[in-house]
Each structure stands twice: as C-alpha cells, then as structure tokens.
Chain A
Amino acid sequence: MEKCRIVFSGSGGQGVITAAIILAEAAVLHENLNAVQSQSYGAAARGGATRSDVIISESDIHYPKVVQPNILVCLTQEAYHKFYPILRPGGLLLSDRRYVQTSRKVDARQVEIPMYDSVMEEIGKTIVFNICMLGALISLIDTVTPDSILKVLKTRIPNNFLDMNKKALNLGIKLGNESGV
C-alpha cells in the first residue's frame, strides 16, 4: 500500500483527535499495519484550533508528522483556510458542508458531505459527529475496515453509547458511498 498521510483539523471539542486515534489504533491492532498519531494544540482545550496527524504504513515510520498530507479532513472554516494549501496535489479533501465553505479551486478530490446536519437529523447528538466523519473517511480510503473501527470503539466507549456510535459510523459510511467519489 501507499503510505497514508492524513491531517485531521478542526476545533477543540469536535473529537478530531479522538477520531484520529481510533483510526490509527484500528490500523495497528486490527489491520496489522504500522501507524503513528500525533497532535498539536494550544493551551485551550475547547474552541482552539486543533490538528492531528496520522501516518499509516506497512514499514517503519521515523518522522512522525505530516508535512504534505494526501488526505485532509477539515471540520471548520479556519482549519480549511489554514491547511488546504499543504494538501498534496491530487489528494483527498473531506470537509463538512455546514462548517466549511470551499471557496477556492484545489487540485484535489474535494468531497463535501453534510455530516453534521445528517448526524443532527438522524441521531440528534453532536457528540458522534467525529465518528460519522470517520465512517465517511474510511469509505473513501480503503485502508481500515469498518469492522476494525468497531473493535476499537468497543474498547473505548461505554456500552450504553456503543449503539449510537455504530449508527454514526454507518451513517458516515453511507454518506461517503453516496458522495460518488
């Protein structure tokens, strides 16, 4: 497989870092791949700009950060403006239609999905917005299977909330598949 270099970006509290961790952990524990996850954030836990980098590869990973992602996820306008210029030409840009207005032409597969609105409509809880995003993402890249993500969710999420997360994951997968990319 080609090295998968992903930047997740958004705002503190959206679950961007959690989603990145779940994806990387699934790759390592259930797909027999190597992965490194790192993050950069300010002193503010909620509301500040957040970025998490994930590299998934079959070989050793030395430098753990992503300089030029081939996959970029943006969940806020600020994150989009800040990070779209570093996206590798021909890469994949996944953004939320409610939060991000893609104003410029980028040399990338731009996938705008109404993830937030769909989560609110079908589940009604913003807390699983990140898991829906993760579902959409894995449907667009064939690196980690939904089953592997579910296995990780089971170890991280209290039983009472598991169904809601499963629903959000499946919703994301469905939206990703329907995006027609």
Chain B
Amino acid sequence: MNKNTKFIQGNEACVEGALYAGLDFFAGYPITPSTEIAEHLAKRLPEKGGKFIQMEDEIASLCAIIGASLTGHKVMTATSGPGFSLMQEALSYAVMTEIPCVIVDVQRGGPSTGIPTHGSQGDVNQARWGTHGDHAIIALTASNHQDIFEVTVNAFNLAETYRTPVILLFDEITGHMREPLTIPEKGKLELVQRLRTSVKQGVDYHPYLPREDGRLPMSDFGDVHRYNVTGLVHDMWGFPSSEPKAAYELLRHLVDKIENRANKIAMFKEYHMEDAECVLISYGASARSSLHVVEDRRIRGERLGLIELQTLWPFPSDIIREKCADSKYVMVVEQNMGQILHEVKLSVDRPDRVFLANRIDGVFITPLDIMNILRLIQGKGV
C-alpha cells in the first residue's frame, strides 16, 4: 500500500485537495452533508498556520472569504443547498469584483431544508443562475475521491487564472462515502499561484485594467496600493461608473473570459466511447451507477458508452455535440428533474433522441433503475 493512501470520506478528499492547492483561509457555517469539510479544516488549517473561522451564517461566510482573498489568500467555504441560497448575493459580488474563491456545495435533497441526509443533484442550475445579472461561472463536480481531490485542486487553479468564484458541486453520496484516496506527492499536480502586479509602490495601479491576455494582476489589499472595490459597474480604477462603454466592456469581459474558454475549462472522462451506439451522460455520484451499467452491458456485447462530466459550467456544448454525433440514443443520468438534460438537448443535433434517467426521491439511483429506462428507450419493454 502507498503510504499516502487514506481511507476517507469524499468531504475529506475535498479538504486534502484544498490544502494541497494552498488553501490558507476558510470561513463557514456547518451544514449537513458538508459538515466534515469544516470539521476537518478546523483542525488542519491552524496546524499549518492558516485561519479557520466559524461564522454566524453563510452570508457572512462567503463575505469573509472574499475579503481574505483580496488580501492575497487562497480561500474556500463549504455549505449545502440552504446555505448556498444565502450565499447568492455575495456570489454575484465576487463575480463582479473578480475575486478568486472556491465555494463547495455538497448537495442534499431540496427545495428548502429538504432531506439533509440524502443525496441530490438539484443545485446544478442554482450554481449557474442562482445569483442575479448576466454573468459566467465555473462549476465542477466529481464522482470518486481521487477525482474530488484533483477537481478541488483545479478549482483553486481556475479561480486564480480567471479571477472568479468557482463552485464545487459535490453530493451527499460521494461526500459521505468512504473509499481510498492516494494523495499525490508535492509538485505532481500543477498549482496556479496568484498573478500579482509588478507595479511598484507610488506608481499608478489600475486594478481593473485587463492585460492583453485578459488577465488582471492583483495587488494584495492593504499592501502598497490603495484602490477601490465595488459591486457597482466600475472603471479601470475600480470606481463606480454608469458610462455605457464601461458597462458594456465590463460585462463582456466578465462573460467572455470564461465562456470563450469553455473548451479549455472543460474537464470530462470517457468510457467505451469509441463505438458507442447509446451514450450515457452523467456526473457526480450518478456517474458511478452509470459506469456500473456501461461496464456490465459491455461484457454482454452492448455498445454503451459514458461521458462523465466534471465541468458542468460553462457547459461543454461543443464537446457534447461532437461526442454524441454518431449515437442512436443519448441518456442523461442525474439526480434531479433534468437540469443537465436541458443543456444536452440544446447541444446535440437531434434533441428528440435525448432521454432522462433520474431519481428524485432521495434514493441514490441504482444500475437497475438505469437499465429499466434503457430497456424502455430501446423498445424492449419493462
């Protein structure tokens, strides 16, 4: 056995990934099924000189990490649906002010307080459009602990690269289950560090003037440069502006920096796609049941394939269209009423051939559930 192998919960795998990425500030308000993230960071962060704060609620939690990020720290908060709802206001502030941060939503059954101890994938559209105003967002997910670790590291990298909040949409099933995680040696995974300005003290620093490549070098707030940060439409100095040109350019910048790089940001895995007649598309815990079905049916000679999405937003439409071009059927497997189904239908050439296999009763979708729906699609009866 590798000495770096641990037998832990998915929530702990997320903690390990965050620490590997350099997390040094966490503020949160514990909520099932994300509590273990706060629990473990409360112990681990102070050990490495980082800060852990339990806040009065989720609104304050996100606000606190936004502030800490601005001073130069790698930050994260963790919650579940009800808390994520409270975070929506500050989320759009982080989008507008372009402050890197990572928000974990370990999804449970909803709406409202729903079913705390059961899994769901009902917050997919909330991650995309839960907050107000035109904007782009990055949301990632994973189905096993090794991937949770890597996707978490990548979330920090993307947050720094694009100066944006990144949402990690995990679920109760992977969050609470235990399986092996092998932590990579230091240096094995690439880490993106904060791009800081080279502008010296006493020289004009324009916090919101993008470089040619679209990136905005930051200056640690409270250090040598004084500048303004506001949720209002702002100019390159960060001061409020209602100039149409400033508003247009800012909004385009906020959306384009992410949407124009959707293919680059897209993380996904493929299984048996080379000659697949029927393509399953899934993500998070549901991808485990889907993979079980695909492996099982392949043994019997059925040409099934699986695309496991790890990047949910920006939705990788081009990739889905291309991968599904030769398939007879596409089946989206998810634990909601069809939130990614809708995106897949918009992406493919033949939306009438896209079907949904789902469960919304709090029970984790089984391979048999998927098989039953597959038989219906194939006209084999129930």
Q: What is the CB-to-nearest-CB distance from A105 to chain B, in angstroms, rounded to a whole number?
A: 27
Chosen A-B contacts, 26 in total, with CB atoms closer than 8 Å, are A21-B178, A24-B7, A24-B178, A28-B7, A29-B5, A29-B7, A30-B1, A32-B1, A34-B179, A35-B7, A35-B180, A36-B177, A37-B177, A38-B176, A38-B178, A39-B177, A42-B117, A62-B289, A62-B291, A62-B292, A63-B289, A63-B366, A63-B367, A64-B179, A65-B364, A67-B366
A61 within 8 A of B: yes
Given contacts A28-B5, A38-B173, A43-B116, contact A63 B178 (CB under 8 A): no
Q: Write the residues of chain A forming the contact surface with B, with a CB cutoff of 8 angstroms.
A: 21, 24-25, 28-30, 32, 34-43, 61-65, 67
- Which chain A positions have C-beta within 8 A of B295? 62
- Which chain B positions have C-beta within 8 A of A21? 7, 178
Query: Which residues of chain B (344-382) have a CB below 8 Å from chain A?
Result: 364, 366-368
Interface string of B188-227 (1 = CB under 8 A from A): 0000000000000000000000000000000000000000
Inter-chain CA distance A35–B289, complex, in Å, is: 16
Inter-chain CA distance A56–B364, complex, in Å, is: 20
Q: What is the CB-to-nearest-CB distance from A112 to chain B, in angstroms, rounded to a whole number?
A: 29
Query: Which residues of chain B (221-254) have a CB below 8 Å from chain A?
Result: none
B288 within 8 A of A: yes
- Which chain B positions have C-beta within 8 A of A34? 179-180
| Chain A minimum-CB-distance residue to B365 | A63
Interface size on B, residues (CB 8 A): 21
Q: What is the CB-to-nearest-CB distance from B273 to chain A, in angstroms, rounded to a whole number?
A: 17
Quick check: A37 and B178 within 8 Å, CB to CB? yes
Main SS class of interface, A: mixed
Inter-chain CA distance A43–B35, complex, in Å, is: 14
Query: Which residues of chain B (89-138) have a CB below 8 Å from chain A?
Result: 116-118
Q: What is the CB-to-nearest-CB distance from B362 to chain A, in angstroms, rounded to a whole number?
A: 9
11 further A-B contacts with Cβ under 8 Å, apart from A29-B7, A37-B178, A40-B118, are A24-B7, A28-B1, A36-B178, A36-B179, A40-B117, A63-B288, A63-B292, A63-B367, A64-B173, A65-B364, A67-B366
Q: What is the CB-to-nearest-CB distance from A99 to chain B, in angstroms, rounded to a whole number?
A: 24
| Chain B minimum-CB-distance residue to A55 | B179
- Which chain A positions have C-beta within 8 A of B366? 63, 65, 67
Inter-chain CA distance A65–B177, complex, in Å, is: 9
Inter-chain CA distance A35–B1, complex, in Å, is: 13
Inter-chain CA distance A115–B366, complex, in Å, is: 34
4 A-B pairs closest in CB distance: A38-B177, A63-B292, A62-B292, A25-B7
Inter-chain CA distance A42–B33, complex, in Å, is: 12
**Which one, A29, A42, A64, contacts B177 given CB within 8 A?**
A64
Inter-chain CA distance A34–B180, complex, in Å, is: 7
Inter-chain CA distance A30–B291, complex, in Å, is: 28
Quick check: A67 and B368 within 8 Å, CB to CB? yes
Inter-chain CA distance A35–B118, complex, in Å, is: 21
